[in-house]
Chain A
Amino acid sequence: MRKKTYVQCVASTVFLLFATHASAYSIFVSNEKDNTISIIDGETLEVAETVTVGERPRGIVLSHDNAVLYMCTSDDDHVEVLDVKTLKVTHTLPSGPDPELMQLNPEGTKLYIANEDDNLVTVVNVDDRTKEVEIPVGIEPEGIGVSPDGKWLVNTSETTNMAHFINTDTLKIEANVLVDTRPRVAQFTGDGSEVWVSSEIGGTVSIIDTESKEIKHKLSFEVRGLAPEAIQPVGVKLSTDGSNRAYIALGPAARVAVVNMQTYEIEKYLLVGQRVWNLEFSPDQDRLFTTNGVSGDVSVIDLKKLRVIKSIKVGRFPWGLAVSPDKRG
């Protein structure tokens, strides 16, 4: 009898948890190989819709009002703009060749885009739909991070192995920080004091002090039973909800590392799908979504329990992620 009560109690707690967590939001996933965007319902955690877009969609970003989705359709050499309501591509933006990753400025008026083929960062005005300026950077620019105050743009270049700090007022490079081999993602902390840069081949994450532009700490990872070369950090997501946790996607290691942002200790490795690259939070940061390229799915991590709760089959080679607090349709 007591046992039953306990079970009921657990069941109702779980129900309550789900009830509170089941928010009406949508997850957008770009499928690089399929040329589609999968839209996952945040409530049911199932693919609600799939939209065909341009060639090789990779980095995707929602406008600040969540009305449109900007998509780097890399092989079409432009950014496509998808109306989130109608799910139609309304227009394109002149991104420069082979756009891969991009970020909006805090005002939501400019896109900073990395052009992998041309060693440029392109600044595009999303309202005028014009290219404002091209900034020459290192070889194979990849990651783009924008500081919360909008003053700094950090771009990583994969072959030059640097994080370039670009002053957004002057659009000049003010510092070049040498990081480990093949840097991918650059992400600022919520207070803007640090930039975390993942190095895919180097196997590390450099934590750079924004003020001094110096590396203050370097994370490395170790997973029992895995060769060190299988650990390839790519996606970085830094919490802003006070939990002080960072999440790092480790590529072919099929793990997401959970890092304490104060002590830099690695608290846990969560097993997800194969070749995990990019990460995105749910709107209230109680869940984390991962794109797993080789297994073609999205893992859903419950961040309260630090447990993978579901994997959702999407298109082939899912790449980018964006989460809208609005429910689609």
Chain B
Amino acid sequence: MLMTSLKAHLINAISQAALTIYGVKRSLLVAVVLLVSCGNANAEVQANVFYLMRDVEPPLPLSLIDKRVEKNGFAGAELGLNDNRTTGGFLGHEYELVEVLIPENADIIESVKSANQSNPEIIVANLNSTDLLLVADAYPESLVLNVYARDDRVRHEDCRANVLHLPPSRAMLADGLAQYLAWKRWNKVVLVTGRHPDDTLYAQALERAIKRFGLKVIDRSNWTAIPGARRTDSGHHMAQQEIPTFTQFKEHDVLLVADEIDEFGEYLSYRSRLPRPVAGTQGLMPTSWHRSHEQWGATQIQRRFEKIANRIMTERDYSSWLAMRALGESITNTNSAEPSVLKEYLLSDKFKLAGFKGKALTFRTYNGQLRQPILVVSPRMLISVSPQQGFLHELTEMDTLGYDEPESACKVFK
């Protein structure tokens, strides 16, 4: 155990040093941060996990309350690594986490190649859908765990046999929210969509959910204004004038908003013409993780995470932690780090992941999506958890969220 804590200190020291170096040498094509090299040749099983992410400047949050999150997701993987190492330490299983930061406009496959001599067999992909598919196709024998892309298409018509998805898709999120609205009988909704393609995808997911759960869209509108600077003095004057004019909608119960990068959705609450709750990407939000979640033992992981990362745990941190834990569970139980062996175990009914959601999380065998309850949260509190009571399913109620097996367009999963 002493060894483990020494290692942990060493990891921290190395990672901090590496980060500093990286901050200086931004011109490097690829910065490979070898977090640990405590690889033990005698280890029964050695699992090397490659964590891929683009090196992009995190966006400035619209609210001054929120802080910029550097390398969103990676700290979650580090926590998962620590957890796996504890179990591994009792079993003679070694884990290594290699971070590959890919410059914003670089060719992703070239970057991965130059960072790694051999093929990366186990990949955690903190990437968008385009990058995810490029990596999945370049390494068809590898196991790729998606921890970021929420597009339904990569789980649906563009699914890949070697990719498993940890975060919920937009359809799952929208269904989680719509079930709660249906439970509240807030049936009449208005939908405001932002100007980005992702906003359109979010709005489409909401429309699908609205139809599935018997809600009704009373009115639709697009927010097309190009935002100015995020930090402005006296900005509230403008919002106070603009929003009531913009929200001249017919009688409705709830105002839905699709604004994934936080451009305007935050302005709607308390300013709309009718006093109605805002839900969607702002206001009442469906999410896989939230800083307010404390049920089913979640307090423990929130504390453990904040201790190592000195910030709150984000959705991407949670997905990254889940990815590492899913790997850990399968390695622990199969005594192997072979991608095909791990995938088989992960998709079997033996695999049950504890993710602080009060239920065993399992993968859908028809598209590799992790089944999970969806948290429905306000900015400061957990409001509810979907699936809501009464939405039934023959297999598991979690499959009332997102595309179910009969609707799946994913053909490569067998």
- A residues bordering B, Cβ < 8 Å? 98, 116-117, 119, 136, 138-140, 158-162, 173, 176, 178, 180-182, 200-203, 227-229, 252
A139 adjacent to B360 (CB under 8 Å): no
| Contact status B304-A160, CB under 8 Å | no
> Which chain A residues border B397 with CB–CB below 8 Å?
227
Known: A160-B90, A176-B91, A180-B352. A252 touches B358 (CB 8 A): yes
What residues of A have a CB within 8 angstroms of the CB of B86 in the complex? 119, 138-139, 160
Q: Which residues of the partner chain B approach A139 to less than 8 Å between Cβ atoms?
A: 83, 86-87, 304
The reply to whether A117 and B354 contact each other, CB–CB distance below 8 Å, is: no
Residues of chain B at the chain A interface (Cβ within 8 Å)? 1, 4, 83, 86-87, 90-91, 297, 300, 303-304, 325, 329, 332-333, 352-354, 358-360, 396-398
A292 to chain B, nearest CB (A): 16
Decide: A201 near B87, CB < 8 A? Known: A140-B297, A140-B300.
Answer: no
Residues of B within 8 A of A159 (CB): 83, 325, 354
Q: What CA separation (Å) do A193 and B172 show in the bound complex?
A: 47
Taking a contact as CB atoms closer than 8 A, the residue among A136, A138, A158 that contacts B354 in the complex is: A158
Tell me, rounded to whole Å, the shortest Cβ–Cβ distance linking A172 to chain B. Answer: 10
The answer to whether A201 and B354 have CB atoms under 8 Å apart is yes
Complex interface: chain A residues within 8 A of B83 (CB): 139, 159-160
A161→B87 contact, CB < 8 A: yes
Chain B residues whose CB sits within 8 angstroms of the CB of A158 once the complex forms:
297, 300, 354
In the bound complex, do residue A161 and residue B1 qualify as a contact, i.e. CB atoms below 8 Å apart?
no
A-B pairs with beta carbons under 8 Å apart, 8 shown = A119-B86, A138-B86, A140-B297, A158-B354, A160-B83, A160-B86, A181-B329, A227-B396
B308 to chain A, nearest CB (A): 13
Q: Among B87, B90, B91, B354, which residue has its beta carbon within 8 angstroms of that of A182? A: B354
Q: Which residue on A lies nearest to B349, using beta carbons?
A: A228
Q: From A164, which residue of chain B is reached at the shortest CB distance? A: B90
With A140-B300, A161-B332 known as contacts, the answer to whether A229 contacts B360 (CB < 8 A) is yes
For the complex formed, measure the closest distance between the CB of A192 and the CB atoms of chain B, giving whole angstroms.
23
A119 to B329, CA, bound (A): 19
Does B300 lie within 8 Å of A117, measured CB to CB?
yes
What are the residues of chain B within 8 A of A228 when measuring CB–CB? Answer: 396
Given A117-B304, A158-B297, A181-B353: A202 in contact with B360 (beta carbons within 8 A): yes
Which chain B residues border A252 with CB–CB below 8 Å? 358
Assess whether A181 is in contact with B1, with CB atoms less than 8 Å apart: no
Least Cβ distance of B363 to chain A in Å?
Answer: 14
Looking at A119, A136, A229, which has the most chain B CB atoms within 10 Å of its CB?
A: A229
B396 touches A229 (CB 8 A): yes
Query: Would A178 and B332 count as touching, CB distance under 8 A?
Result: yes
Residues on B with beta carbons closer than 8 Å to the beta carbon of A176:
90-91
Cross-chain contact B300 with A181 (CB below 8 angstroms): no
Q: Are A181 and B332 in contact (CB under 8 A)?
A: no
Residue of A nearest to B357 (CB): A201
Question: Which residues of B sit under 8 angstroms from A173, Cβ to Cβ?
Answer: 90
B352-A162 in contact (CB<8A): no
Task: With both chains docked as a complex, state the minimum distance between the C-beta of B45 and any C-beta of chain A, in angstroms.
Answer: 14
Say yes or no: A203 contacts B90, CB within 8 Å. no
In addition to A116-B300, A161-B332, 14 A-B residue pairs with Cβ atoms within 8 Å of each other are: A117-B303, A119-B86, A139-B87, A158-B300, A160-B86, A160-B90, A161-B329, A173-B90, A176-B91, A181-B360, A200-B354, A201-B352, A201-B359, A201-B360
Bound form: Cα–Cα A116–B356 in Å? 14
- In Å, the complex CA distance between A229 and B361 comes to 9
- Rounded to whole Å, the gap between the CB of A181 and the closest CB of chain B is 5
- Do residues A229 and B359 form an inter-chain contact, with CB atoms below 8 A? yes
CB-CB nearest in chain B for A229: B359
Note all chain B residues with C-beta closer than 8 A to A202: 352, 360
User: Is the Cβ of B359 less than 8 Å from the Cβ of A136?
Assistant: no
> Which of chain A's residues have a CB closer than 8 A to the CB of B304?
117, 139
With A140-B300, A227-B396 known as contacts, the answer to whether A162 contacts B354 (CB < 8 A) is no
Expressed in whole angstroms, the minimum distance between the Cβ of A224 and any Cβ of chain B is: 14
Contact of B352 among A98, A140, A181 (CB under 8 A): A181
When distances are taken between beta carbons in the complex, the residues of chain B under 8 Å from A140 are 297, 300
A136 to B4, CA, bound (A): 10
Per the bound structure, the CA–CA distance linking A252 and B358 in Å amounts to: 9
User: Which of A98, A159, A162, A178 has the most chain B CB atoms closer than 10 A to its own CB?
Assistant: A159
Q: Which residue of B lies closest to A200 (CB)?
A: B354
CB proximity of A235 to chain B, nearest CB, Å: 16
CB distance from B359 to the nearest CB of A (A): 5
Q: Most chain-A CB neighbours within 10 Å: which of B1, B91, B297, B354?
A: B354
Chain A residues within 8 Å of B87, by CB: 138-139, 160-162
User: How many angstroms from the CA of A158 to the CA of B304 in the assembled complex?
Assistant: 14
Closest Cβ–Cβ distance, residue B343 to chain A (whole Å): 19
Cα separation A139 to B88 with both chains bound (whole Å): 12
**Which residue of chain B lies nearest to A75 when distances are taken between CB atoms in the complex?**
B299
Q: How far is the CB of B350 from chain A (nearest CB, A)?
A: 9
Cα distance, A45 to B68, chains bound together (Å): 56
In angstroms, Cα B304 to Cα A227, docked, is: 31
In the A-B complex, list the 4 residue pairs whose CB atoms are closest, starting with the nearest: A136-B1, A182-B354, A176-B90, A201-B354
